[in-house]
C-alpha cells in the first residue's frame, strides 16, 4: 500500500487518511458559524441563542467541554477543534460499534449522518434502512444487518429523505432548509442522483443541522 507519491504506508495510516478525507468533506458541507433563530439547535442548555460552528452545536460543545457555551465560545471553534470532535464523537463509534472501516465506501456517508443527526440517530437510521430493530444502539444484530444489506448506501439516502420529511412535518418552520437537506442526502447516492423534492430557494448544502443531536460516546448495546 502506498501514498500518492508511491511511498509505502501502513494500513492504520491509510485508514486515518481515509477518515480525514471524509471529515474534510463534511466540514465543507457544514460551513462556518451561523446563529439563525429558525434553527433550534443554535440554543445552549440555558436557552440562549449562541449558534453552531463547523457543524458543532452548543449541545455537542457542552458534552465535550463540560460547560455551557457563549456565542463567543462557539465562534472560536477552530477547524482542528471540529476535526477532533468528529473523530471522537462520530468516527470512533462508527468504526468500533458499527464495524464500518474508513476504507469502506459507505463510511463517509454514515459519518455525515452521524454529524447531521447525532451518533444514536445515525444508528437508528441504519437500523431502519436494514430492517434491524430500531433502538439507536449498535450491537451484534445491527452489525449483522449491515453486513447482509445490499445497496446499503442508497437505502440510507432514502432513509434520510424520509427522516427530513418527518422533521419538516413535525416542525414546519424548518421547511426553509428542505432543499439543502435533501440535496445533501442525495449527494451521497450511488449512480444517477434523483431530483430533490420540495426545492426551496437558498437551501444550499450548508443549512443548519435538522436535529439537536448530541455526539455519541461508543456503546455496544
Residue 24 lies in a domain: yes
Residues 98 and 178 in one domain: yes
Structural domain boundaries enclosing 55: 34-76
User: Does residue 178 belong to any structural domain of this protein?
Assistant: yes
Q: Are 134 and 125 in contact (CB under 8 A)?
A: no
Looking at the structure, tell me whether residues 69 and 133 fall in a common domain.
Answer: no
Q: Is 167 found in the same domain as 62?
A: no
- Distance CA(68)–CA(165), nearest Å, equals 31
Same domain, 94 and 113: yes
CA distances from 142 to 16, 97, 123, 126 (A): 24, 9, 8, 8
What average pLDDT does the chain have?
86
pLDDT, mean of residues 130-151 = 95
pLDDT digits (tens, 9 = 90+) for 70-117: 999 999 999 999 999 999 999 999 999 999 999 999 999 999 999 999
In a domain, 194, yes or no: no
pLDDT at 1 over 60: no
58 and 155 fall within a common domain: no
**Same domain as 91, residue 171:** yes
The pLDDT-based confidence of 135 (bands split at 50, 70, 90) is very high
Q: Which three cell numbers stand for residue 150?
A: 445490499
- Is a pLDDT exceeding 70 seen at residue 147? yes
The answer to whether residue 129 sits within a structural domain is yes
Structural domain includes residue 141: yes
Least confident of 90-94, 121-125, 167-171: 167-171
| pLDDT for position 6 | 58
If asked whether residues 22 and 115 sit together in one domain, one would say: yes
- 45/97 same-domain check: no
| 8 Å CB contact between 143 and 132 | no
Could you tell me if residue 1 is inside a domain? no
> Domain count of the chain?
2
Instruction: Specify whether 104 is located in the same domain as 65.
Output: no
Does 98 reside within a domain? yes
Give residue-wise pLDDT tens across range 18-28: 999 999 999 99
Does 142 lie in the same domain as 171? yes
Check pLDDT > 80 for residue 160: yes
Using CB atoms within 10 A of its CB, is residue 27 exposed (0-12), middle (13-18) or buried (19+)?
A: middle
- Any idea which residue has 464500518 for its cell? 100
106: domain CATH number?
1.20.141
Please report the pLDDT score of residue 189 as a whole number.
95
Instruction: List the Cα angle 214/220/221 in 5-degree steps.
Output: 90
In-domain check, residue 204: no
Let me know whether 58 and 128 are in one domain.
no
Question: Quick one: pLDDT at residue 10?
Answer: 84
The residue count for the chain = 221
Please check whether residues 19 and 117 belong to one and the same domain.
Answer: yes
Neighbour-count burial for 109-122, b at 16+ CB within 10 Å, e otherwise: bbbbbbbbbbbbbb
**What is the C-alpha to C-alpha distance for residues 35 and 50, in angstroms, rounded to an integer?**
6
Amino acid at each position: 500500500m502506498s501514498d500518492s507519491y508511491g511511498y509505502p504506508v501502513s494500513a492504520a495510516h491509510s485508514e486515518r487518511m481515509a477518515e480525514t478525507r471524509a471529515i474534510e468533506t463534511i466540514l465543507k458541507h457544514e460551513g462556518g458559524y451561523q446563529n439563525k433563530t429558525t434553527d433550534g439547535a443554535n440554543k445552549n442548555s440555558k436557552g440562549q441563542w449562541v449558534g453552531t460552528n463547523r457543524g458543532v452545536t452548543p449541545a455537542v460543545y457542552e458534552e465535550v467541554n463540560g460547560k455551557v457555551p457563549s456565542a463567543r465560545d462557539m465562534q472560536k471553534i477552530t477547524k482542528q477543534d471540529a476535526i477532533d470532535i468528529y473523530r471522537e464523537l462520530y468516527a470512533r463509534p462508527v468504526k468500533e460499534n458499527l464495524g464500518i472501516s474508513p476504507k469502506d465506501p459507505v463510511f463517509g456517508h454514515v459519518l455525515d449522518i452521524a454529524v447531521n443527526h447525532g451518533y444514536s440517530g445515525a444508528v437508528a437510521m441504519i437500523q431502519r434502512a436494514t430492517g434491524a430493530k430500531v433502538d439507536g444502539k449498535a450491537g451484534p444484530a445491527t452489525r449483522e444487518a449491515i453486513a447482509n444489506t445490499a445497496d446499503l448506501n442508497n437505502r440510507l439516502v432514502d432513509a434520510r429523505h424520509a427522516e427530513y420529511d418527518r422533521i419538516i412535518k413535525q416542525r414546519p418552520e424548518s421547511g426553509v432548509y428542505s432543499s439543502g437537506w435533501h440535496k445533501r442526502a442525495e449527494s451521497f447516492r450511488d449512480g444517477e442522483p434523483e431530483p430533490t423534492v420540495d426545492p426551496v430557494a437558498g437551501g444550499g448544502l450548508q443549512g443548519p443541522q435538522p436535529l439537536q443531536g448530541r455526539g455519541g460516546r461508543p456503546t455496544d448495546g
